[in-house]
Amino acid sequence: MVSGKGGTGKTTVAAALALALAREGRRTLLVEVEGRQGIAQLFGAEALPYEERKIAVAPGGGGEVYALAIDAERALLDYLQMFYKLGSAGRALKKLGAIDFATTIAPGLRDVLLTGKACEAVRRKDKAGKFVYDHVIMDAPPTGRITRFLNVNDEVAGLARFGPIHNQAQAVMKVLKSPETAVHLVTLLEEMPVQETADGIEELRAAGLPIGRVIVNMVRPHHLDEDALRAASGERRADVAKALSRAGLGGARRGGLAERLVDPLVAQAAEHASRVELERGQRTVLEGLDTATYELPLLGAGMDLAGLYELATELRKQADDE
Ligand SMILES: Nc1ncnc2c1ncn2[C@@H]1O[C@H](COP(=O)(O)OP(=O)(O)OP(=O)(O)O)[C@@H](O)[C@H]1O
Ligand SMILES: [Mg+2]
């Protein structure tokens, strides 16, 4: 499960993770549940149907990534077919709008269907009795909703005391709470996402859900050493003007090129220094969470397939170093 504050890179990280885990002939399934076709967009593919499709080949070793956009409506029809053999009757319900009604009126039911479908993929075996997927990665709802989303089957198992729905809900909770599952939280080195990560971890722990890694995304390189950082936050106008002048950028006198460059450069350096300071503070908060972290760099050229492979390789390396 890959969760995190909105916009921190959940979809990107989930895709990179699916690629990273698909090495050496392994097969992973990347699923999304928010109906936004984020995976298709990321891989430059056509919108995903409600059907598992091979979407990428993993870097080195021929692993494969499949993708699925889980749709609550279709999942409900699957269930009706599975539990009550309601094949055509299910389609009739759909025509009546009953399926649509059920999946939109009861958001809890939607979540039961979405997690249920993902767990079905986790447990699915082929004819030889081998698991079809080595890993299933979900681009999950954001931190604010993740605990409720994953725990919804607990409520259902309590409501339906016996019968197929009870059993199904219990089976899903068993997978989700097992050590086979891990909820990873993506964050940036900024106050709000870090706070959400801290809150999310607390909630997940309280609910007995397995926490994976904190993945710090879009980490920027730092250009200055300690001395330079201290200098950058101080008042060093005269020194900078002199240095520019020495570098051949004209005289440091009033109105000269060096003089005009000083203020923007000093401002930029100070901004960088304060950003580094802030990031250090957030790192300290993250260290206090007592959860292993991975770090992914901010890719300067924007996100494309090559960038995704780069992030996957980075995840792989850090996992191997652990
Ligand atoms: N490491 C990175 N380097 C550069 N750009 C990145 C990186 N990770 C993510 N991005 C970009 O940041 C933006 C947000 O990423 P993404 O869509 O994965 O976030 P999200 O958490 O899934 O967002 P949402 O909450 O809207 O679903 C995208 O434009 C993505 O390409
Ligand atoms: Mg997303």
Tens of pLDDT along 57-93? 887 777 999 999 998 888 888 877 776 666 666 676 6
In a domain, 293, yes or no: no
- Domain of residue 101, residue span: 2-220+298-321
pLDDT higher than 80, residue 27: yes
Do 229 and 203 lie in a common domain?
Answer: no
Burial class of residue 254 in the structure, from the number of CB atoms within 10 Å of its CB (0-12 exposed, 13-18 middle, 19+ buried):
exposed
Considering only CA atoms, which residue is closest to atom 29 of ligand 1?
303
Considering only CA atoms, which residue is closest to atom 15 of ligand 1?
9
Do 148 and 138 lie in a common domain?
Answer: yes
105 CB-side CA count, 13 A: 6
Burial class of residue 100 in the structure, from the number of CB atoms within 10 Å of its CB (0-12 exposed, 13-18 middle, 19+ buried):
middle
Contact 230, 321 (CB under 8 A): no
Contact 67, 14 (CB under 8 A): no
Selected residue with higher pLDDT from 74 and 11: 11
Read off φ and ψ for residue 53, nearest 5 degrees. Answer: -130, 140
Do 25 and 170 lie in a common domain?
Answer: yes
* Mode of pairing for the β-strands spanning 53-57 and 64-69: antiparallel
Do 144 and 212 lie in a common domain?
Answer: yes
Which has the closest alpha carbon to 80: 52, 99, 55, 61?
A: 99
Considering only CA atoms, which residue is closest to atom 8 of ligand 1?
9
Q: Kindly report which listed range (55-59, 118-122, 136-140, 212-216) carries the lowest average pLDDT score.
A: 55-59
Do 126 and 258 lie in a common domain?
Answer: no
Do 182 and 247 lie in a common domain?
Answer: no
- Spatial distance between the Cα atoms of 93 and 89, rounded to a whole number of angstroms: 6
What is the predicted pLDDT for the residue at 222? Answer: 84
pTM over 0.75: yes
Do 95 and 154 lie in a common domain?
Answer: yes
Which has the closest alpha carbon to 2: 220, 302, 215, 261?
A: 215
Residues with CB under 6 Å of ligand 1 are 4, 6-12, 142, 217-218, 296, 298-299, 303, 311
Do 159 and 232 lie in a common domain?
Answer: no
Task: List the helix and strand counts (H, then E) for the chain.
Answer: 13, 8
